[in-house]
Amino acid sequence: MPEMSYQELKPPRRILLGPGPSNIHPRVQQAMTEPLLGHMDPYFFTVMDDIMKLLRFLFRTENELTFPISATGSAGMEASFANFLERGDTAVIGVNGFFGERMVNNALRYGADVVQLNAEWGRIIEPEVIEAVLKSRKQVKLLALVHAETSTGVLQPLTEASQLAKQCGALFLVDAVTSLGGQELAVDDWGIDICYSGSQKCISCPPGLAPFTANQTALDTLKTRTCNVPSFYLDLSLLAKYWLANGGRTYHHTAPACMFYALHEALALIAEEGLEARIQRHLRHGAALHAGLEAMGLTLHAQPGHRLSTLTTVRIPSNVDDLRVRQRLLNEFGIEIGGGLGALKGQVWRIGLMGHSSTEENVLLFLSALEKLLVEEGYSLEAGAGVSAATRNLKKK
């Protein structure tokens, strides 16, 4: 018999300012302790109906097929490629960060012919680049872009890309993992055919669900597939039969009920705050953080004019130890931030201000904690510069 010692579960309280998860509201935590229901319970179906309604509000779409996939954001990405690509289809994919690379990885696994739109990690994919590639290829099945690149802090413009995709008859797929509920996003108005996100970022629900939406144009392509979707678990046609009342509520998998409760409550909180107010809150706190970091003499990594308010990348000053600063933030202040991913490993820190974590208090606390640590680590800066700049910024309007 293997050794059976284990510890009592006592996670420390953290201020989650990394690339996700963000902190969750007490009402969301409480929702998970509501009585567990079976996945075919009549009341449970009403919870599912509410979740779909609230997700349509959040995605700004009228797409009937709008529901969370029962797995994390990465499974939302995979569901997109597994359903809408077949072996030999051409997919044009923007790659200016870690998650663009992951999209390529997914598309290749499902047998697609992938054309990469490359840009420096930290810059957007320019519309001219998209146009040139789309026009040089015949029969592009799908154009995929990451709206908010969590690895670089860049906000990708989408409306021109959407028009270009339509002009060549390609589906337009958008990764909104770090934007949905925090940055402006309008699925229908912007002509996005397929969009997915994660529950644990700007929505401030625990990780474990991938909000997903697809329009009729996208769904029509499922009917002309020559082979089954390889993944049973992510097969949207089967999922739709369970989610949609007109699909007969046919059993597909045992829904993660407590996660649905949490998402229901997190979405209700968003509806109460209002989408516009929520996006403004993210903008305000993002801008204050940016001002504070620059006032400390630090350099923001992402292209000016295309910076996320939900996730900020800042270059690590030379002679400052990446890991040591992050460990001290965690151990001395209980603050989690993220290190660089992939090509930016050791180059940047990633600071998230998402959902319930996007507060004035967190901006000021983080800046003062960082100032203290940087000074102790030998980095020279003007005392209080970061907090002062952020405070001035917060007081505007």
The nearest distance, CB 29 to its own copies, in angstroms, is 4
CA 153, CA 161: separation in Å to the nearest integer?
A: 19
Q: Toward its own copies, which CB reaches closer, 232 or 382?
A: 232
CA 152, CA 97: separation in Å to the nearest integer?
A: 6
Q: Toward its own copies, which CB reaches closer, 21 or 100?
A: 21
The nearest distance, CB 76 to its own copies, in angstroms, is 10
The nearest distance, CB 243 to its own copies, in angstroms, is 15
CA 357, CA 285: separation in Å to the nearest integer?
A: 10
Rounded alpha-carbon distances, angstroms, from residue 332 to 21, 315, 370: 20, 22, 11
Q: Toward its own copies, which CB reaches closer, 342 or 378?
A: 342
CA 354, CA 102: separation in Å to the nearest integer?
A: 22
Q: Toward its own copies, which CB reaches closer, 139 or 251?
A: 251
Q: Toward its own copies, which CB reaches closer, 253 or 392?
A: 253
Q: Toward its own copies, which CB reaches closer, 255 or 353?
A: 255
Q: Toward its own copies, which CB reaches closer, 355 or 386?
A: 355
The nearest distance, CB 55 to its own copies, in angstroms, is 10
Q: Which amino acid is at 206?
A: P
CA 313, CA 92: separation in Å to the nearest integer?
A: 26
- Burial label for 200, CB within 10 Å (0-12, 13-18, 19+), is buried
H helices of the chain, in order, are: 26-31, 42-59, 73-84, 98-109, 127-136, 159-167, 216-223, 236-243, 257-273, 275-295, 322-333, 360-376, 385-395
* Farthest-apart Cα atoms in the chain, separation: 65
Reading the block at residue 112, the tokens are 């697609």
Contact 207, 201 (CB under 8 A): no
Q: Toward its own copies, which CB reaches closer, 75 or 164?
A: 75
The nearest distance, CB 170 to its own copies, in angstroms, is 22
The nearest distance, CB 77 to its own copies, in angstroms, is 8
Partner residues linked to 67 by β-bridges: 212
Reading the block at residue 318, the tokens are 């030379």
The nearest distance, CB 146 to its own copies, in angstroms, is 15
The nearest distance, CB 295 to its own copies, in angstroms, is 27
Cβ count within 10 A of residue 52? 20
